[in-house]
Amino acid sequence: MAFNLVYKGPQLRGECWQQAVAEALPDANWFTWPDVPAPEDVDAIIAWTLPDKALKTFPNLKAIFSVGAGVDQLQPDTIPDSIKLVRLIDPSLTQQMQTYVLSSVMMIHRDHFLYQAQKAQKNWQQHKVALPHECSVSILGLGELGKAVAEQLSMLGFTVNGWSRSAKQINGISAFHGPQGLSDMLATTDILVSLLPLTEETRGMISADTLAKLPKGASVINAGRGEQIIDEDLLAALDSGHIQYAILDVFKDEPLPESHPYWTHPSVHVTPHIASITRNDTAGHRLAENLLRWQRGERMTGEVDKTRGY
Residue 269 appears among annotated catalytic residues: no
- Closest by CA position to 134, among listed 105, 156, 159: 159
Please check whether residue 234 is in contact with residue 247, taking contact to mean a CB–CB distance below 8 angstroms. Answer: no
How far apart are the C-alpha atoms of 293 and 67, rounded to whole Å?
A: 17
How far apart are the C-alpha atoms of 214 and 248, rounded to whole Å?
A: 18
Q: In what order do the strands lie in the sheet with 159-164?
A: 174-177, 159-164, 136-140, 191-194, 218-222, 243-248, 268-270
The two beta strands, 84-86 and 63-66, are parallel
- Closest by CA position to 114, among listed 129, 96, 131, 99: 129
Q: In what order do the strands lie in the sheet with 4-8?
A: 29-32, 4-8, 44-47, 63-66, 84-86
User: Could you tell me which residues come within 8 angstroms of residue 78 by beta carbon, excluding any fewer than 6 positions away?
Assistant: 55
For 178, phi then psi, to 5°, come to 75, 170
C-alpha 7: how far from chain center: 22
Q: Given the residues 87, 109, 165, 225, select the one marked as catalytic.
A: 225
How far apart are the C-alpha atoms of 270 and 226, rounded to whole Å?
A: 12
Residue 109 appears among annotated catalytic residues: no
How far apart are the C-alpha atoms of 173 and 197, rounded to whole Å?
A: 20
Q: Given the residues 177, 242, 265, 273, select the one marked as catalytic.
A: 273
What DSSP state is assigned to residue 275?
Answer: S
3-state secondary structure of 6: strand
How far apart are the C-alpha atoms of 278 and 270, rounded to whole Å?
A: 20
| Active-site amino acid positions | 225, 273
